[in-house]
Amino acid sequence: MERKGDHGCEFDVWQLIIPSAIREQMIQFLEAALPYESGGLLFGKRVMEEWMIENFQPIASDKPDAKNYNASPRDLVPIIMKAKASGMELLATVHSHPSSPAVPSRKDLKEAYGYRDLAHSIVSFAGMSPDVQFYRYEKVEHHVSFHPLTLKLTNW
């Protein structure tokens, strides 16, 4: 499907492909940080409308907090540079919700405004088992809305 010229929509990811081993790795890292929020970045390749996740880089929060996740640019920049050098692109941010559902908070949407070309994953530990969701954020007029993304698990 051609989507050229559709510059009104900067965001063209419709499906994310994630190896189950990477999903597990994310969950384990975030679970180990409980009761605090934690996070990281996902790298890989964009092939048309499919984004293939190849690598999870855990990044601990600057200050342990049960309701906030903050990664400092000091930690982020070298990781992004290294991934770029090995041919991978930044595809998604990840953070955990230790006790709330895997839905973007008002704060998440506000802070994500500058990162519209990325996907955003939230991993919730509020239920019986971890809930991993991916979203794209979109600014419409003066507010940011979110849309769930399809996730395809593979066994690579």
* Among positions 19, 108, 124, 137, the unique one binding Zn ion when judged by CB under 5 A: 108
Shortest distance, CB of residue 82 to Zn ion, whole angstroms? 26
Residue nearest Zn ion (C-beta atom): 108
Among 25, 105, 116, 117, binds Zn ion (CB under 5 A): 105
- Kindly tell me the burial class for residue 59, based on how many C-beta atoms sit within 10 Å of its own C-beta (0-12, 13-18, 19 or more): buried
Buried/exposed 77-106: b ≥16 CB within 10 Å, e otherwise: eebbeebeeeebbbbbbbbbbbeeebebee
> What is the x/- site pattern for Zn ion, positions 48-87, by CB under 5 A?
----------------------------------------
Query: Which residue ranges make up the site for Zn ion (CB under 5 A)?
Result: 105, 108
